[in-house]
């Protein structure tokens, strides 16, 4: 396996596209089409389980970095192994923080991380531990994932993570308005369905990034 050519995430459009599309050609076509309006592609299990891990290599032809969203949550040894495999294809990996410091540290030794500090849906148990998770992320990660659907949570997490990147899902399809997360301290907003289910993904991505870029 050739060494992956690392791409850094740069804050310009402040938009990350969630590539939760099973059809590889459709996914890559949309990514190419909207690339100028996003800062990274977040690729998760729907894409990788449908197309195989080798399909991640096809993102090499795009200019923007890839964040693998597998929300890794296992013992340190296994989590690190998964991150090591992913590091051959992607630029960043999302891991869960609730597994504790040892798991996050082990992963951070092999790839750059974003740590899930809180989530967008109702009924989970992560919020109770968001601050502890944010403190762990502070030591080992490039950034954290925090919910656009809960601006108070973003503000609390920002106080702990200093200038770490906060990337924030929940925008459009899950009800958060474009710009809410950034106004409350996030660096990037993550949008999936709001772009790929729209009639014209390119126009939609441009519209969203125009709004995000205009924010202070
Ligand atoms: P959508 O814009 O279609 O709702 O997609 C949101 C994306 O962000 C999905 O890939 C989902 O896995 C991810 N996500 C989320 O929605 N909430 C979280 O708390 C954490 C996530 O990673």
Q: Is the C-beta atom of 201 inside 6 A of ligand 1?
A: no
Question: What residue's CA is closest to ligand 1, atom 2?
Answer: 192
pLDDT at res. 3: 66
pLDDT in tens, 75-101: 999 999 999 999 999 999 999 999 999
Whether the pLDDT of residue 1 is over 60: the answer is no
Angle formed by the axes of helices 101-108 and 130-140, nearest 10°: 30
Question: What residue's CA is closest to ligand 1, atom 8?
Answer: 169
Tokens representing 125 are 């148990």
The whole-angstrom separation of Cα 3 and Cα 175 is 39
Q: Is the C-beta atom of 204 inside 6 A of ligand 1?
A: no
Q: What is the pTM of this model?
A: 0.98
Which residues carry out catalysis? 71
What is the percentage of the chain residues whose pLDDT exceeds 90?
98
The whole-angstrom separation of Cα 119 and Cα 25 is 30
Beta strand extents in the chain (DSSP E only)? 15-19, 40-44, 66-72, 92-96, 112-116, 143-145, 165-168, 188-191
Residue 144 in 3-state DSSP?
strand
pLDDT in tens, 108-157: 999 999 999 999 999 999 999 999 999 999 999 999 999 999 999 999 99
What is the percentage of the chain residues whose pLDDT exceeds 70?
99
The whole-angstrom separation of Cα 85 and Cα 31 is 23
Q: Is the C-beta atom of 194 inside 6 A of ligand 1?
A: yes
Partner residues linked to 69 by β-bridges: 44, 94
Ligand 1 closest atom vs CA 145: 20
pLDDT in tens, 30-44: 999 999 999 999 999
């Amino acid at each position: 396996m050739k060494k992956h050519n690392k791409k850094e995430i740069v804050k310009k459009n402040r938009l990350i596209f969630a590539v939760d599309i099973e059809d590889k050609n459709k996914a890559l076509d949309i990514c190419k089409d909207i690339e100028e309006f996003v800062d990274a592609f977040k690729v998760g299990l729907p894409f990788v389980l449908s197309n195989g891990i080798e399909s991640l290599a096809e993102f090499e032809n795009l200019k923007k970095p890839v964040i693998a969203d597998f929300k890794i949550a296992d013992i340190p040894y296994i989590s690190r192994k998964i991150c090591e495999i992913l590091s051959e294809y992607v630029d960043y990996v999302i891991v869960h923080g609730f597994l504790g410091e040892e798991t996050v540290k082990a992963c951070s030794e092999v790839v750059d991380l974003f740590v899930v500090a809180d989530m967008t849906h109702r009924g989970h148990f992560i919020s109770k531990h968001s601050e502890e998770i944010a403190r762990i992320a502070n030591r080992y990660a490039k950034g954290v994932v925090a919910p656009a659907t809960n601006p108070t949570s973003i503000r609390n997490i920002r106080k702990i993570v200093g200038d770490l990147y906060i990337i924030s899902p929940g925008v459009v399809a899950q009800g958060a308005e474009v710009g809410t997360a950034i106004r409350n301290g996030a660096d990037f907003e993550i949008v999936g369905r709001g772009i790929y289910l729209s009639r014209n993904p390119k126009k939609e991505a441009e519209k969203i990034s125009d709004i995000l870029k205009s924010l202070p």
